[in-house]
Chains A and B, each alone.
Chain A
Amino acid sequence: MSLKALQQSFIQQLAHSQSADKFLEYLEPCGNLLPEHQLAIYQNNVRGALQKSLAQVYPVCQKIVGDNYFKQLASVYIKQYPSKHHDLNSYGEYFSDFIKSQCLQRNELNDFSYLSDLVQLEWFYQQVYYAAEGSLFDFSAYAKLNEQQQVNTVFQLIPCLNFFSSDYPVLSIWQMNQEGSNKHQSLDLNSENCCVFRKKNLIELRIIDTTIYNLLTYLIAGKTLEELALMGVDNYLPALIEQGWIGGFKVKHV
């Protein structure tokens, strides 16, 4: 077997736990370890590393469903989604969709329909934690634009910010499950728009109203100042710049 074929076969045994018979033919016993034991050690190591990584990214989900059940979910996820990135911090991006599908399939998760959105919030937290710094808005550069350029301006959000809308009070649930939280009141089953951002190395999670949520969505979509004004949301821009959520701009050429 060539080195390439051997590596391909080996990695497939780890990623998909495929039938190992052919691969095992290329191993020989050593010490107390038969070929199948040798392979099993690596399968355990890989699964363990990915499970540990998921547990680090999704601690609130783990707390809610319990360590053992989380481990079960993680095992299934790992089989369905082998790692495709060298950076372990990038592993787990499909966990929210996966949890959504599991909630539909597993009776014991019937009461946890919010879990998928909670997982999404935890993923955004992880992304914001590692994201690049946001720059400060350059007022003097903006002031130099002529009137036409200003109306064609597209404002840019900082990279360490993410937001989403949930049908459930996921940020409240997340906060209740933080260490030392004294929030144990019953929750209103209201939807929440959540924003996760980093400021001076600290992560903040905030509920935002629908107007701000819509404005953030328009900014991501690349709407110009003129378009924002037509939708009546341009007057909220200074507040976003002041909070450091908008870090730059570019002039759209029309």
Chain B
Amino acid sequence: MSVLSKDIRPISGAGIGLRSPHINDILTSLPDISWLELLADNHFAEGGVVTAQLDAIAEYYPLTLHCVGLSLASLEPLDKVYCQRIKALAKRVNAKWISEHLCFTSSMGLHSHDLLPIPYNQESLNHCANRILQIQDLLGERLLIENVSSYMTFNNSDRVEIDFIVELAEKADCYLLADVNNIYVNHVNQGLDADYYIDNLPIERVKEIHLAGYQQQQNYLLDAHNNPVSEPVWALYQRLVKRKADIPTLIEWDNDIPSLQTLLNEARKAELIMQKGACHEP
């Protein structure tokens, strides 16, 4: 295998989200995986087997951290304890970067454990930008902000999601994580223009791409991360990769988790598209 060291290999190519059913497999066979992404919130244990396994994984693979609890759109005071836990975890596993979602997860001391959307208007923009700046200050690095799946339309939104994100990235001087499955889910559920979205992403700020599978519900798509990446999402990914081919891409699979090999096959498919995109890149 081509594993070098956690300090030498940069994040590139297609990686997979590290999930607990695969950890023993990975540590036993050390498969050739370009990089792994941790769901930070699953790795806050202070000791025990979770910590020991993670330390071992960090020895062999470059890692990134993906958070769900920074609640960056929340009007609650910033949870500095959470920030410190993220910072400590990032340091411990030598995470190459930290990402979080454009959403809120807590209010009035209550936690949703789900990614809750916000209206896209000036008040949200100002608040989120300030919050991201505050978090970046605490963490000492620029965050990657991810677009979320949304099943809700607020009547006080006054701009489309991609325009909001472009303004936000400028204002907060942050990076972006483009989740192509979320773009497609919102295209179907909310009617947003997916091609316009892809074509208008500030591509130099996009440092990571997420790919996942949705679940078809009776009258909408649920971003369930429980299926292979769908054909329309691969098509949008190709469109994005044609703009810039070398953006590290991650396969996310969180429910009904399949074999490690299935995830690696999906990652391989993404890498092939990246290689083709490199041929087309202007």
Contact = CB atoms under 8 A, between A and B. Distances in A.
Interface stretch (A41-49, A92-100, A142-150, A186-194): A41-49
A3 B124 contact: yes
A136 interface: no
A41 B48 contact: no
Contact of B79 (A14, A86, A91): A86
Contact of B151 (A38, A49, A198): A38
Contacts of B105: 86
Nearest to A16: B110
A214 interface: no
18 contacts: A1-B156, A3-B73, A7-B104, A11-B107, A27-B155, A28-B154, A33-B220, A38-B153, A39-B152, A83-B112, A85-B111, A86-B105, A129-B50, A130-B44, A130-B50, A131-B48, A159-B46, A202-B49
Nearest to B111: A83
A27 B154 contact: yes
Given A1-B156, A28-B153, 13 more contacts: A11-B107, A11-B108, A12-B108, A12-B110, A31-B188, A32-B220, A33-B151, A86-B69, A87-B44, A87-B69, A130-B44, A133-B46, A159-B46
Contacts of A6: 118-119, 154, 156
Interface string A10-28: 1110110000000000111
| Among A1, A7, A50, A85, residue most surrounded by chain B Cβ atoms (within 10 Å) | A7
A35 B148 CA distance: 19
A41 B151 contact: yes
B106 interface: yes
Contact of A31 (B109, B154, B191): B191
Contacts of A49: 113-114
A82 interface: yes
Contacts of B188: 31
Given A8-B108, A12-B108, A50 B113 contact: yes
Nearest to A48: B114
B111 A160 contact: no
A4 to B, nearest CB: 4
B75 interface: yes
B152 A38 contact: yes
A29 interface: yes
Interface of A: 1-4, 6-8, 10-12, 14-15, 26-33, 37-39, 41-42, 45-46, 49-50, 53, 82-89, 91, 129-133, 159-160, 198, 201-202
B119 to A, nearest CB: 7
B261 interface: no
A37 B220 CA distance: 10
Given A88-B41, A129-B45, A33 B219 contact: yes
Contacts of B104: 7
A30 B108 contact: no
A84 B109 contact: yes
A159 B190 CA distance: 49
Contacts of B107: 4, 7-8, 10-11
Interface in B176-215: 188-191
Contacts of A11: 106-108, 110, 112, 116
Nearest to A87: B44
A202 B196 CA distance: 52
Nearest to B67: A86
B231 interface: no
Contacts of A45: 114
A33 B189 contact: yes
With most chain B CB atoms within 10 A of its CB, the pick from A1, A2, A42 is A42
Interface string B101-139: 000111111111110101100011001000000000000
Q: From B73, B153, B188, B219, name the one whose CB has the most chain A CB atoms within 10 angstroms.
A: B153
Interface in B76-119: 79, 82, 104-114, 116, 118-119
Contact of A133 (B41, B47, B110): B47
A32 B189 CA distance: 7
Contacts of B82: 86
A8 B74 CA distance: 10
B127 to A, nearest CB: 6
B205 to A, nearest CB: 24
Nearest to A91: B113
A128 B281 CA distance: 52
B153 A3 contact: no
Given A6-B154, A26-B156, A46-B113, A87 B41 contact: yes
B77 to A, nearest CB: 12
Contact of B220 (A2, A41, A159): A41
Given A7-B107, A30-B153, A198-B48, A14 B112 contact: yes
B160 interface: no
A8 B41 CA distance: 23
Contacts of B110: 11-12, 14-15, 82-84
